[in-house]
Structure 1
Amino acid sequence: MARETRGKAAELLTVREVLDELGGISRRTFYRWRELRLAPACIRLPNGELRVRRDVFDHWLDERAEGAAR
């Protein structure tokens, strides 16, 4: 079970996968959120592409749930 959890946490999502999970928001919106520091933290690969760790993305979503405790 721990290995499965680590594997999910280590999963890297592409920007396209993040956009799809957010209901198909535009790439432009995502990059605007990055400029405003509202997007989930990203990893820049040596080839310049961005990835978002699954656990970071899930936590980012949880923080934005309506009625979330502050």
Structure 2
Amino acid sequence: MSPTLMDELLSVAEICTELKISRRTFYRWRELHIGPEAIKLPNGEIRVLRSTFANWLAKFQERAA
């Protein structure tokens, strides 16, 4: 799945809610380079494209199969 102009940008809070993880876990995964690829906005906030998040999750689904 490739990003499109209409691809939804998810906030850290939305990612954490969807995965049922803490913000600390999300940022730790970023430090370890194991979390989904993110975009840092000019105001410093982090966003993740919905398509990037879906592709990242799919990698784990394939491993479990």
Shorter-chain TM-score: which interval? Answer: 0.7 to 0.9
Please show how residues 1-70 of structure 1 align to structure 2 within 5 Å.
Answer: 6=4, 7=6, 10-22=7-19, 24-65=20-61, 66-67=64-65
Percent identity of equivalent pairs: 54
TM-score using structure 2 length: 0.86
TM-score using structure 1 length: 0.80
Cα distance in 2 between the residues matched to 1:46 and 1:55: 21
2:10 match: secondary structure: strand
Shift of 1:27: 0.5
Structure number with greater CO (CA < 8 Å, separation at least 6) is: 2
Q: Which has the larger radius of gyration?
A: 1
Q: How many residues align?
A: 59
* Superposition CA RMSD, Å: 0.8
Instruction: Give unmatched runs, 5+ long, in structure 1.
Output: 1-5
